[in-house]
Each structure stands twice: as structure tokens, then as C-alpha cells.
Structure 1
Amino acid sequence: MSTSPVPRPPVPRTPTDRPHRPHRSHSPDRPDRLAPEHREKLYAARLHAARARPYLATALFALHVVETARVPTMAVDRHWRCYVSPAFVARTEPEVLASVWVHEVAHLLRDHARRGDRVVRALDLDGPGHRLRINLAADCEINDDAFGDGLVHPADAVYPATLGLSEGGLMEEYVREFSLGTQFQDLVWLECGSGADGLERPWELGPDDAHGLSDQERDLVRFRVAEGILARPGRAPAGWRRWAEQAFHPPQPWRRLLGAAVRSAAAAAGRGDDYSYGRPARRAASLPGVVLPALRRRPPRVAVVVDTSGSVADGELGTALLETAAIVRAVGGRRELVSVVSCDAAARQVRQVAAEGGLELIGGGGTDLRAGFAAALRRRPAVDVVVVLTDGQTPWPSQPPPCRTVVGLFPRPRAEVREDDPDYRPDLPPSWARVVELG
């Protein structure tokens, strides 16, 4: 008679009793998950990148990592998520990963998504092929001075020389200097995401999913990074210094600024107001038999004083005529309300824009725009706004005029030295004028 053995209860194992199994970074059942040791390598590489480029630390640690096998290497979307391929992390050295971290965050800091959208509209481009062209151009802008000094050069990175371009350019310049052809077919694998060219991918989470940064948060990160670069400019490459200066002082659409300044000056209290009997005042009802005029808003009268001295180039005089036309549009197209004063050392000519024969700017001598101010203020009816277009190399009135003043400055070096007077410095526009840099 045989007896079956009595089953023994299982003996609980401690963690140290568990058999050792090597981790797999890219198992067939979970291809889009990082193995623990590879996740540790990825984050160690980010720390290395922050140590090599400490001014980028805020941006590097603001990125949220998304693990996915749908990207070939690493990519970013415009909402500051970083998509990471587990297979790429498994086969890549930590030093190279650190350089890729810096490359991807540079796309976001330099706002290549929004800039790519603008290039698409400006050049009438469309489709993934053109977005790849933008991606390549953005890579050239970043990579020409991104590596070295603690960061290795990735072997397959795209540099300006890769496309036969010169260094030091911007993405918008590079896009116009090359087109995609068969010579670049080895680069079609390139995939940096919508954060590099603005085109959203199917594998991106989208604006409403978790862990994305808002517009305000992105701007705050950019401000903090730019602040760190400008605090110690000697530690950042030229491309990053240029970016930081523009982040603090972004280029302004000066033509819109000038028009806005004119409209703002004309809208000031008491400017452009006059009494009219065309419509009785409402308070006349309390005074039977008395007709009171009503206060009516009229378009402002503008005097444009143009510096026609010898230091102003012909092209800048042409710009002055264009700005005069823009000012006419700003006052509703009423040409009779705008007059132009040509002035060098004296007020040479005063003409209404509506006068027959067109505008002619006369001058070529020295510069003293005080005479132009005086001629403008003698106009009758009185002007509401004086707009001065000059290079700034002039004395200014000692007292503010009785109307608003807008000064449009042609670009010049901040200081000029005269051989006969080494202590000479041009007078800055007075504080009572609204100053707009032209060009």
C-alpha cells in the first residue's frame, strides 16, 4: 500500500532568499518601459547635464519624462514633456545622454515650436517634409556651440557643416539656405517632436493631459534660465548669450509700437477734444433758452518732424516717409490732419500731407531739431502730437512742448566720439518724450 506524501506548507522567503534575475531593459511584453537601472542612468545623465550647464538646471528638471517606444531616441513636445525610448537609453552611454538632454531642452527654451509655426506661415510650407526641414535648421542653431566643455559631441548630431551651412545662424536663416534632397535621406529618422518644429505627433499626449507646463510656467522657466546666463555671461556660449539677451529684451515690432505710441498720445485727456454746436450739450436742458455746445472728440492733429541733416541716410529718409503714411492711417486716413516739417539746423519746409505735389524732404546740413519743434508748435490749428524721426544727434528743447511727443530713433551706436571734441556725447531724448527704436 502506497501512501502519498503529506504536502508541506511553503516556507516564506526573505528578499535575500530570492533568486537573482538580471533586469531587462526592453522586454517584449513591456517595450515602452525603462528598466530600473536604465531609468537611473537617464536621470544620472540629466544631473550630469545640469552640472555641465548649471544655467540650464531649472529647465532640465522642469521636463516631465514619458517612456515610449514610439520615438527613435528622445523628443519633446511643446508642452515640455520629454519622450524617451527605452531601447535608446539602454544602448547609449550616459555622457551622450547628457548631451541629448541639453539638446532637447534647448528646443523648448528657444521656442522652436512657435518659431516653426511662424516660418511655415511666412514661407507657405506644409507637411511633415517641411517640418523635418525646420527640425534640421533648429538643430543647426543649437548644435553649433552646444557641446564641449563637459559635454561630448554626439556622433549622429546634425551641425551646420552637415548641411553645408555656416555657423552662428538662426533657425529662420538656415531654413531659407537649404532644401531637402536625396543627399539628406540618412537624416529622415530625425524626430525631436513638436517642441522642435511645431508639428504635433500622434504619440504626444496633447495640451489637456497631465504634466504639461502652462504658457506662464514656460515663460517663467525661460526667464530663470536667461537670468542665470546673464548673471555669469562668461560661462555660456555665444548662442546662449544671444538668446538670453533677447529673452530679457525681445525684439519689438517697431512699426506697430510707433503707431500705438501715436494713438496713445492722441488719446490723452484733453487732446483732440473740442466744443461743437452741431449737437447741444445735455446740460442745456437745465438752462431754458440757452444753447450750450457739446464736447466732441475729433481726430488728432499730428506734426511729423523729420531729421534731414547730413547724418541721416537716404534710406532712413525713405523710412520716414513710410512712417508718415502709417501715421496717416493711425488718424483714420485724414491726410489734412498730418503735417511734415523738414529740419536740419533750421526748419526748411512745412507741408501738409494732403497738399498737392507730394512730400519732399529738404536738408543736408547740421542738426538742431529745436527749430523743427518750434515750427511744428506754430501750426494753426494747434497740433495734438509731435512725432520726431531722427538719429538722436541733436539738442532737444529744454522745456516739454504743450502736447504729447513721440521720438522714433534710427539705429545708431550708443556713443559717438568727435576728433575735435573727445568729450562730446549726443544728448539723449528727454524724459518727457515716448521713445521708440526704429529698425
Structure 2
Amino acid sequence: MSTALRPSACPGLLRIVPALDGGICRIKLTGGSINAAQAEAVASAAERFAGGVIEATNRANLQIRGIGSEQTALIDSLLAAGLGPSTAAGDDVRNLMLSPAAGIDRHMLFDTRALAQQILATLQSHERFHELSAKFAVQLDGGEALAMLEHPHDLWLSAAEQEGEQLLAFGLAGCPTDRPAGAVSLEQGHALVVAVLELFLDLARPDQTRMRHLLAEYPLAEFLARLAEQVRLKSISDWQRSPSPDVLHIGAHPQREIEYVYIGAVPPLGRLDPAMLRGAAQLAREFGDSSLRFTPWQSLLLPTVQKEQVPEVIRRLEQLGLLCKADQPLSRLIACTGSAGCAKGLADTKRDAVQLAALLPRHDQAVHLSGCRRSCAAAHVAPVTLLAVAPGHYDLYLRDAAQPGFGTLHAHNLTIEAVAALLDARSRSALDA
């Protein structure tokens, strides 16, 4: 496979991007899914050609950090495991997010996986789509209970029912919990994606790389009118996507088939080592369907486990160092690479997050530690964001829908101990209310 790629700051499987701790290779997974043999190949590549650090990303992908001089050997090993794109130029545009429980969620309205495969095949094979930004992203939501609905996408599609007909509601530059721009029949889902992407490329200037950039200048109504010339659009009245519970990615939860559950486990701060990934792959072979599914919460699912096997599987996952309980403080913390691996990081966010978890046994909201304003570790706004201003010091923001960015600045230049004291006091106040 030719590896001639356009310049980009975004890592891919075929484009290894330098960082302070070595090269970064991002492996895009179809629907977050990877089979046991592929997981073992990732573990071996990280061990042989890099520093042994594997990260689960907030788009349900994997990346290997600390890659040294043997970049070609690492790429070849991953391609041999079937983890690459169908065309080299198609790697950047494989940005389609599904529910981690696609096809097995008890609440799904339809199984999104066949349509997802059709969309991904077109993204990779249609040469014009290779002009899209490596950040341009699509979400396909089948109505599952386990769904990340807070990450903004350039185009989102969400399963809906109206007067007995299955539809796909859709929106531009937003999330499935937004009011939809319109809807199409389920059969028109693929055609809609193609039409939206073609129209975007027709209208956008080179500097307008995302849908939000285009719609800041081009009226949505005009975009939809142009779209209706290509696809039969339907109005969808009074539809709103229900939010999802926020802990369905941790612990054991029933699947659509009543005899099975999936088990969610969180690698501390989104990081796995090769032994952890190999161990999870072995458990998938022994107790599941020989697959793992990664999630936008930087966690993994082990699907199709028989109910009576749950205690043993959880015991062994915890032995590997994975977190399987939602009340474990570290399972609620998000942290970027920080200054240990990124030149832009102003603090060692991973180390500080471990310290904060030890000081916050009762805090039950997600806390995001970001080494800079780029917010690489979280595509959505967390309830609490700590923005590094110096080593060991952070500004504290509280999520506020009326405020842009991280929300409302609540306190400035706090140490980790001061952050813990403030958040603990807020938790106590909430409990007493």
C-alpha cells in the first residue's frame, strides 16, 4: 500500500506524528471493534517498536505512543493484522462513530453496523472524500442506551420512529441531542451521507475544514434546500434524542440476548500497557466472542459474556489493572498526555490526576485535566475542567451551557490539593441539599 499522504498534524496508522515522548500512531477501529488477534498485534507492536504505551481515545480508537526509529516495521505489523484502510488516502477519513454496543444494545432501534460498513467503504473509495479534513467526523446513532451523545460531529444521524416508520433524523455541526435539521428514510441513510459530504466540498473554501466553519457564513436553510435536490428529506416533528445514562460503559450490563451481558472496564486515564491489552484479548477469547470494543469514554467493552461468568471476568479484569466499578475515583477522571509527552502541556496532567483521585473518594462527576486549551483528551465539555496554567497548578471551570469553551471560570491557579478541597466541599454541599 502506498503511504504517500498529505501533510497533517493528526496522527494516523500510516502517518506517525512526533511528540516529546516519541512518535504517535493512531489506529482507527471500525465501530470501535477489534478482534482478539488484532488486539494482540497492537500489544506486540507497542512492545517491539515503541515505549509500550497504548491509549484508548475519545473517538473509540487506539493509539501507540513513544514510537522510535522502526516506524515502517510498526506500520507493516498493523497492516498485516488487518487494521489499516482499504486505500492509503482513505485512512484520514475513517471518522465514523457508532455506539460501542451497536448490534447488542437492548434499546437500539436498528443495528447500525451494516450501514456503517457501507459508509466507511464509500469514504475510503470515493477519491473526492479524501479532500476532507482528518478531523471531519460523522456519527451514526441507532438509539442505543450506551451512546456518547455529547461529542459534536460535522454530520450526525440518529434512529427515530414517526408514525410507524423508521427514520434517520440528522443534524449538522452538533450532537444528536440537538434539534434535527430533518430526516430521511432508513434506506436513504447512505445517500444522505454522500450528498452532505459532496455538498460540503462544493461549498466550503479550503480554510473551512469543518461544517461549523461553513455554516457560520452559509445559511443552513440554503444548505438544506440544496441537499433536498439530491435526497428526499422528511420533516420530523417533536423528536428529541433522549440523553444516555453516564455509567453504562463500566461494569456488567444486559445485552439484547437475555443470556448475555457486556462488561465495561476503564484503563486508568485511558492508558493500557501490552500486558493489559493481551490479557483483555485472552478474556475475550475465553469468555466472550473473541472481540473487544473500545468506547468514546476511553474504556473497553468485553461483549457476549454469560451472566454466570461475570464475577470471574471482572475479577480477572481487575487483576490486569482495569477499573470495573463506577465509584472508583480514577474511573471518573480524564487527562491528556500532559507535559510528560507533549510540548504544549503546561503540567503533568496524568500524574496530577492520580494525585487528585486519591484525594477525591466521594466526588461523582467527571473531571477533565487538560494541559492546554486544545482539550485533546475530551471532545465534549466535562462537568469540571482543570486547565493547566503552570506545573501542578490549574484554573477550575464548571460546565455552563450559556458559556463557550470549558464553561464558567470558578477559581484560578489552584494546586491539586486546593482543587480536591474545593470539589469535596461542593460534593458535600450537594449531598446536604
The TM-score range, normalised by the shorter chain, is under 0.3
Judging by fraction of residues, say which structure has more strand.
Answer: 2
- Higher relative contact order, structure no. (Cα contacts within 8 Å, ≥ 6 residues apart): 2
Task: Select the structure of larger CA radius of gyration.
Answer: 1
* TM-score, normalised with respect to structure 2: 0.24
Judging by fraction of residues, say which structure has more helix.
Answer: 1
